[in-house]
């Protein structure tokens, strides 16, 4: 009897021990699910959104907060979006010219230019104060890959804009006009559109000067390309020059200071006024008549803007020291 009782107690203990092991195994399995197999939902600023291609590009996890933190501001490399000109994704020469560009993203603030009727290519006039330039302004705040702000342009158009910074050279812009000028009523964009960078390929008839297109390390601009040529096929033939990135996205335009239908004989980027910043010397003329050549000096400011030094340019041309780069540099070396 005593032996039977001991056997029964032993069986009960073994069963209880196995149940305990099974329970631990079940808990471990649940832990694996929650830690190693997250659901397809993520949180940004406390709002659940599905993980999909519509989420902002390269966004890193941030604190749940209604105001931007230092970490969330720095989470995205915005340099890939700055200084480019953004046009609607399916833009052609006949399409809507609504465009914007971003000049600065810093400390949770965004600044740039906006235009309804013209492509907002940065040049010397682009960087003038708003009341002097030909483009309107774009200002706002930015957090975690999303910017919200206001815009206006020189025609009297005003509105609100939301930008979602995406991958693959795309920005999603939601545009809401609050005021429209008479000239812009038929051409303004209201709604949500994808924008992409404005590129040399968008310029119909662009025929490059192959000997006057090259890469250069240009101070705050970094590694860029100087691209120059003519736009063929129209009633007049503009001569153009740009700074672009390696993908030929247009970053800066020198065309405003260059006469139509001239050829570039020589281009050089050197610090001519000894201020530590590279300047640009362009020698141009009509056809191959070197005797009628003109030199033009673009000096670079500390903010990266290039301006024509009118006095220096006139002095070089009046003196006749404008036939080649070496002659120009020898003459200027005596001035600085």
Residue 241 in tokens: 């020059």
CA dist., res. 222 & res. 65, Å (int): 35
| Range 21-42 average pLDDT | 34
Q: Cα–chain-centroid distance for residue 199?
A: 12
Q: Whole-angstrom Cα distance, residue 326 to residue 126?
A: 32
Token pair, residue 304, equals: 């990266």
Residue 255: pLDDT above 70? Answer: yes
Number of residues that this document lists for the chain: 336
- Mean pLDDT in residue range 217-246: 96
The first and second tokens of residue 72, run together, are 């969330």
Separation between Cα atoms, residue 71 and residue 73, nearest integer Å: 5
Residue 299, both tokens = 């000096």
Token pair belonging to 228: 């120059």
Average pLDDT over every residue of 175-181 = 94
User: Could you give the C-alpha distances from 71 to 64, 74, 97, 149, in angstroms and in order?
Assistant: 12, 5, 36, 21
CB atoms under 10 Å from CB of 101, counted, come to 26
pLDDT in tens, 114-156: 988 888 888 877 776 654 556 889 999 999 999 999 998 878 8
CB distance 190 to 79 below 8 Å = no
Give the whole-angstrom CA distance, residue 151 versus residue 135.
Answer: 10
User: How far, CA to CA in Å, does 97 sit from each of 15, 91, 189?
Assistant: 78, 8, 10
126's enclosing H/E stretch is: none
- Which backbone phi and psi does 331 adopt, to 5 degrees? -70, -45
- Residue 129 has a pLDDT of 64
Band of pLDDT at residue 5, cut at 50, 70 and 90: very low
Contacts of 194 (CB under 8 A, 6+ apart): 88, 89, 170, 171, 172, 173
Domains of the chain: 70-198 (2.40.128.30), 201-333 (2.40.128)
pTM for this prediction: 0.76
* Six-digit token string for 113: 């230019």
- Banded model confidence at residue 285, pLDDT cuts 50, 70, 90: very high
Question: What band does 183 get if pLDDT is binned at 50, 70 and 90?
Answer: confident
Q: Considering the chain, what percentage of its residues have pLDDT values greater than 70?
A: 75
Nearest to 44 by CA among 224, 191, 164, 188: 164
Q: In angstroms, what is the C-alpha Rg of the chain?
A: 30
Q: Which run of H or E residues covers position 311?
A: helix 310-319
Q: How far apart are CA 196 and CA 258, in angstroms?
A: 27
Residue 219 contacts by C-beta under 8 Å, 6 or more apart in sequence? Answer: 277, 278, 300, 304
């Amino acid at each position: 009897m005593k032996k039977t009782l001991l056997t029964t107690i032993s069986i009960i203990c073994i069963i209880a021990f196995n149940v305990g092991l099974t329970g631990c195994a079940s808990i471990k399995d649940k832990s694996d699910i929650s830690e190693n197999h997250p659901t397809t939902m993520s949180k940004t600023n406390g709002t659940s959104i599905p993980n999909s291609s519509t989420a902002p590009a390269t966004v890193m996890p941030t604190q749940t907060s209604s105001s931007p933190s230092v970490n969330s501001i720095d989470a995205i490399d915005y340099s890939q979006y700055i200084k480019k000109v953004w046009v609607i994704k399916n833009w052609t020469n006949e399409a809507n010219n609504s465009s914007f560009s971003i000049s600065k993203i810093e400390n949770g603030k965004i600044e740039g230019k906006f235009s309804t009727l013209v492509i907002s290519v940065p040049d010397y006039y682009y960087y003038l104060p708003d009341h002097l330039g030909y483009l309107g302004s774009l200002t706002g705040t930015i957090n975690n890959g999303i910017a919200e702000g206001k815009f206006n342009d020189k025609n009297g158009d005003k509105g609100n804009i939301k930008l979602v910074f995406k991958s693959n050279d795309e920005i999603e812009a939601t545009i809401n006009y609050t005021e429209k000028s008479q000239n812009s009523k038929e051409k303004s964009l209201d709604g949500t559109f994808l924008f992409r960078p404005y590129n040399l390929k968008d310029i119909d008839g662009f025929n490059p000067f192959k000997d006057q297109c090259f890469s250069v390390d240009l101070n705050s601009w970094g590694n860029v390309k100087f691209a120059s040529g003519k736009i063929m096929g129209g009633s007049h033939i503009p001569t153009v020059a740009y700074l672009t990135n390696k993908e030929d996205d247009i970053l800066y335009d020198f065309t405003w200071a260059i006469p139509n239908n001239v050829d570039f004989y020589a281009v050089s980027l050197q610090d001519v006024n000894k201020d530590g910043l590279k300047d640009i010397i362009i020698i141009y003329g009509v056809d191959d008549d070197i005797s009628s050549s003109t030199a033009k000096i673009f000096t670079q400011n500390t903010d990266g803007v290039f301006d024509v030094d009118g006095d220096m340019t006139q002095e070089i041309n009046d003196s006749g020291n404008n036939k080649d780069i070496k002659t120009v540099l020898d003459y200027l070396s005596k001035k600085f």
